[in-house]
Structure 1
Amino acid sequence: MHKKTPVNVRGVVLVSGAHVVDDFYQGVIPALLPFLVSERHYSYAAVSGITLAATVLSSVAQPAFGVLADRRSRRWMVPAGMLLAGVGAALAGLMPTYALTWLVVALSGLGIAAFHPEAARCARQAAGNSNTAMSVFALGGNAGYALGSLVATTVLLWLGVHGTGLLILPAVVMALVLSRTLTNTLDGHAEHRATSRLPSGEDDWRAFLTLTSIVIIRSILFFGVTSFIALYFIHHFGASETVGGAALTVFLVTGAAGTLLGGWLGDRFSPIVSIRTGFALVIPALVGTLLANTTALAMVCVAITGIATYIPFSVFVLLGQNYLPNRIGTASGVTVGLAVSIGGLANPLLGRLADTTSLRTSLSVLLILPILALVISAFLRVPKPQA
């Protein structure tokens, strides 16, 4: 067991709130896709390319930002990254061409890359060794993603794709809050400065790379579902764009329960139990979604899929940091940033498969992923005790 340290509740709440706002802009992009299909007549492959734009630059830049955070804490990257994410997403619906749309979405992804490593380091400082507290930080991202989907869908139904300009407001407000309160909240009290709240020990790269492979698998699964579930409801069931958007929102909102459940399982049993439980539950839930013959039954299965998909995510951050205690920024950049970015790299392949066959076939292929993750999880171990 790791040495317990008290949780800085105010710090966890503040950094988790910033995570809400930052990942709000991650949720905007998949919500935008059906509107780009209907208003600009983009193909499935083209909208998959938009998802790629949101992720490829983030994936490449994430390790670099993690290394920077390891060398010296750069808390300014938390508000700055969040602002860039907001600017890019807000401009996405205003660009006149596909190329410019792709570019500003890529810039939003760069902002996401800058935010996550340093924000996760701040969250760990506040959370100590609590999986539950770190799951609250993860929940902030999940909640932001869901809110981004819900708010963007509402705005886009009202104003069309040009309504994305309104979405810059949360980033501006939260950046101002962080600039005034972040340092004092994390470091302002003597007792917080006196005790190291970050892990210590030797780095275990083999275990970390095993975990990273599972993070990537979960990421591909996550992006596959979020990019195509709304379109699946629209085209398979003949549902409206509103119902399609609701399916995506249900997946993301129920993921909040999965995030907290994963943190509880991590503290009660172990992070590895959380990982295996989530992937085992994904399999029947996704099968149910694809076999359901009514919209209502499919929506229930989507909800269970959301819970299951998020159970492992909530423990990736702390487990990865414990595997690499001397490289907290690098570990955070992979387990938080990479987890919400690299999965998008596989999306164009899924989009092409959907174009040539069907959305149902493309989603069915995703069933391979949780099985593979369960196999790889057999090689995970609980980190060695640390001081």
Structure 2
Amino acid sequence: MGSGINTVAGQPATVPKSSPNPNATTYRILFAISLAHLCNDTLQSVVPAIFPVIKESMNLSFTQIGWIYFTIQLTSSIMQPVFGLYSDRKPTPMLLPIGMLLSLIGMLLLSLAPMYALVLLGVVFIGLGSAVFHPEGSRVAHLAAGQRKGLAQSIFQVGGNTGSSMQPVISKWILIPLGQIGAIFFTFVAGFGVLLQLYVAKWYRGVLQTTSLPSKAKIKRAMNPERKQAIITAMILLIAIVLVRSWYSASISSFYAFYLEEVYKISMGNAQIYLLVFLIAGAVGTFFGGPLADRFGKRNVIALSMLGTAPCAMLVPFANEYWLYPLLAITGFILSSSFSVTVVYAQSLLPGRVGLVSGLIIGLAFGLGGIGALAIGELIEYFNISAVIQIVGFLPLLGLLSFMLPSDKKISSWTEEA
């Protein structure tokens, strides 16, 4: 009589490992990768935070400041799509801690650099570290999301935006008092980030061993030939919208403190408080954007984010120092509410291309925002900072492009027909 256990050639059958439920949301990993994102973007925020310090100590012009911002963004923008394509073909969990190690090296260089050229080299390493992290980090968030793609991307992105919001805190309370050498303390942040990424990479490796990711054949079928041109057009429009948003954010992050110092005679340290209000409100807006998109639609949130920002952005240069607080808070909140939504929207346009989407939206589009910072720096040199900040306030009006994007329902129908 059989024992009830199936055997092959007299050997007991092995019980397969239980694979994770693809519909379940793995919150511990979402929060871990969000915290890693916070570490990564905190390291990046040290770069603009150090501008007031090295502008004075190295006697830099606004154009040279723009070149530093351009360098970190361009390094990241060029490499992120490359790493994104690679990770789509060969997901590599160990890229997560490797990226943080690159940023650690860059932070050491930045804190110790005695000359402008070495500052740029340190910034290149920090940019490369970010380029390596984002595609794989976005994939981890996607895999851990289950059915809650918007919420998961919001959790992931709010970590990054919170890290970015540390810029004025770092500038006011660490770098301005301590000088350039103060940046060396952030090597500890990078070290913690490496340990955190090792933890996430272990889970990620386990998922890859038990879960089959979309094959290249499936990815190709998703790109229905008769829809290909419409999808390409939609991606170009989306990148243009993210680019405009990045240009506005870059102008505030890189030059607004100098504007407050010149126009309002506010000290550089106190000017960081206004910047902090804008960036923290942006981090909060990032979190709420995903759930709102899950409920009201991704395209609707993108359109509301850009056009809702426009009136406040145009008023900011003309408000007095007291009204600036609520105006900057509202502007930051509304503008950043579409931060995670644009990534999820792009993922729905290009299903199965999580790494490439991360490279294009988080990397290329945001990275090209560095061109905006460089151009704004040049304009300030030729005209004056007050006039340029006023002109920049009109950028969110280009959010009218969002009405040319296909609706969520239309994209769903394309995927079903693929």
Normalised by the size of structure 1, how large is the TM-score? 0.91
Cα deviation 1:69-97 (Å, max 9, x = unaligned) = 11110121212112212331342242111
Query: Aligned pair in 2 of structure 1 residues 83, 153: CA closer, same or farther (>3 Å)?
Result: farther
Aligned to 2:376: 350
Equivalent pair of 1:272/1:381 in contact (CA under 8 Å): yes
| Deviates most, 323-332 or 195-204 | 195-204
Summarize the Cα distance change of 1:170–1:152 in structure 2 as closer, same or farther, 3 Å threshold.
Answer: farther
Separation in structure 1 between the aligned mates of residue 403 and residue 109 of structure 2, nearest angstrom: 40
Structure 1 residues 172 and 104: CA distance shift in structure 2, 3 A = same
The offset of 1:189, in angstroms, is 7.6
Residue 289 of structure 1: how far off its partner (Å): 1.3
**Which of 209, 214, 232 is the matching residue for 2:236?**
209
Q: How far has the Cα of 1:317 moved from its partner? A: 1.4
Q: Distance in 1 between matches of 2:134 and 2:365?
A: 10
Distance (whole Å) between structure 2 residues aligned to residue 252 and residue 40 of structure 1: 27
1:44-193 paired onto structure 2 within 5 Å: 44-130=62-148, 131-179=150-198, 181-186=199-204, 188=206, 193=210
Equivalent positions of 1:281-360 (< 5 A) are: 281-293=308-320, 295-360=321-386
Higher Rg: 2
Distance 1:84 1:189, change over 3 A: closer
Q: Deviations over 1:330-358 (max 9, x none)?
A: 01111222343220112121111112222
Q: Tell me if structure 1 keeps the 8 A contact 2:278–2:331.
A: yes
Deviation at 1:217? Answer: 1.7
> Shift of residue 187 of structure 1?
6.0
In the TM superposition, what is the alpha-carbon distance from 1:194 to its structure 2 partner? 5.0
- Alignment partner, residue 4 of structure 2: none
Would the alpha carbon gap of residues 330 and 194 (structure 1) be closer, same or farther in structure 2, given more than 3 Å must change? closer
| Maintained 8 Å contact 1:67/1:329 | yes
CA contact (8 A) 1:134 1:318 kept: yes
CA RMSD of aligned residues (A): 2.3
Contact 1:135 1:262 in 2 (8 A): yes
- Alignment partner of 2:341: what SS? helix
Name 1:247's counterpart in structure 2.
274
SS in 2 for 1:384: helix
1:219 to 226, 229, 246: 246
Opposite residue 261 of structure 1, the aligned amino acid is F
Could you tell me whether the CA contact under 8 Å between 1:276 and 1:377 is conserved in 2? yes
The alpha-carbon deviation at position 148 of structure 1 amounts to 4.4
Residue segments in structure 2 that go unaligned for 5+ positions in a row: 1-21, 224-230
How many residues matched? 381
Task: Return the alpha-carbon distance in structure 2 between the equivalents of residues 380 and 239 of structure 1.
Answer: 45
The answer as to whether partners of 2:38 and 2:162 remain within 8 angstroms in 1 is yes
Structure 2 residue 45 is the aligned partner of structure 1 residue 18: no
Please give the alpha-carbon distance, in whole angstroms, between the structure 1 residues aligned to 2:204 and 2:93.
Answer: 11
Q: For residue 52 of structure 2, what is the aligned residue in structure 1?
A: 34
Question: Identical aligned pairs, as a percentage?
Answer: 30
Partner secondary structure for residue 407 of structure 2? coil
Task: Specify every segment of 5 or more residues in structure 1 that has no aligned partner in the other structure, as ranges.
Answer: none
Q: CA deviation at 1:195?
A: 7.6
1:4-41 deviation line (CA, Å, top 9, x unaligned): 92211111111111111111122111111122223322
Residue 380 and residue 373 in structure 1: after superposition, are their counterparts in 2 closer, same or farther (change >3 A)? farther
Specify the code of the residue in structure 2 equivalent to 1:273: N
Q: Which amino acid aligns with 2:280?
A: V
Seen in structure 2, the aligned counterparts of structure 1 residues 219 and 316 have a Cα distance that, compared at 3 Å, is same
Q: What per-residue deviation string (whole Å, max 9, x for no partner) do you get for residues 117-152 of structure 1?
A: 111011100113420121110101001111244234
Q: Secondary structure at the residue paired with 2:165?
A: helix
Distance 2:235 2:294 in 1: 19
* SS of match in other structure, 1:287: helix
Counterpart secondary structure, 2:166: helix
In 2, the alpha carbon distance for the partners of 1:93 and 1:217 equals 31
- CA separation of 1:24/1:340 partners in 2, compared to 1, >3 Å: closer, same or farther? farther
Task: Name the structure 2 match of 1:258.
Answer: 285
Q: Is the 8 A contact 1:143 1:256 kept in 2?
A: yes
Partners of 1:158 and 1:84 lie apart in 2 by 27
